[in-house]
Amino acid sequence: MTEFAAWVESTSLSKTLFGMSWLWPLCESLHFIGLCMLIGAAGLLDLRLMGMFRGLPIRHVKALMPWGIAGFIINATTGALFLTMQPHLYLSSGVWWSKVAFIVIAGANALFFETRLALPALAMDPDADTSPGMKLVGAFSLFSWFAVLYCGRMLPYLGTGN
């Protein structure tokens, strides 16, 4: 992986992007905004699936998910730019690979919800308690996204690959 990171970093794209002194701080700001959008929308849905905020229809909460998806797209884009500009910081880091694994887990959990539980959840009475399966999916999602957040925040301290 070290050789691949060195090759990416030697490309003109990586050098050009990293040479733009304003790009890294802009990406950091956008990454934070995307994270707020993602965690705000997905987190609220997760909490509702866990049985909190009864009286709030799940279909209304789920209607916020396009904002969460937009936040994820912002984060995926800025994350790809970070990786392109400084691949050695990420590709050799176990913490970064853990972050990627938790993103995959959160995505698989969301896919499970969409294919198995979304229709029954959307049809629920706003005051009804959610099923144990919905509670589990919500808790698993919330844990996964906070693990992504934790790993991302800890990268400079626990696993820069240096």
Kindly report, residue by residue over 68-93, the tens digit of the pLDDT: 999 999 999 999 999 999 999 999 99
> Is the model's pLDDT at 52 over the cut of 90?
yes
| Model pLDDT, residue 158 | 87
Does 162 have pLDDT greater than 80? no
Closest CA to 140 of 118, 114, 107: 107
What is the mean predicted confidence (pLDDT) over 4-9? 94
**Per-residue pLDDT tens for 17-35?**
999 999 999 999 999 999 9
Q: How far apart are CA 140 and CA 25, in angstroms?
A: 32
In the chain, the largest separation of any two C-alpha atoms, in whole Å, equals 57
Which tens digits make up the pLDDT trace of 111-136? Answer: 999 999 999 999 999 999 999 999 99
- DSSP character at residue 50: T
Closest CA to 14 of 88, 74, 73, 75: 88
| C-alpha dihedral (27, 31, 37, 38), degrees to nearest 10 | 140
Of 57, 29, 30, nearest in space to 44 by CA: 57
d(CA 25, CA 109): 31
| pLDDT band, residue 66 (cuts 50/70/90) | very high
Closest by CA to 145, choosing from 36, 59, 53, is 36
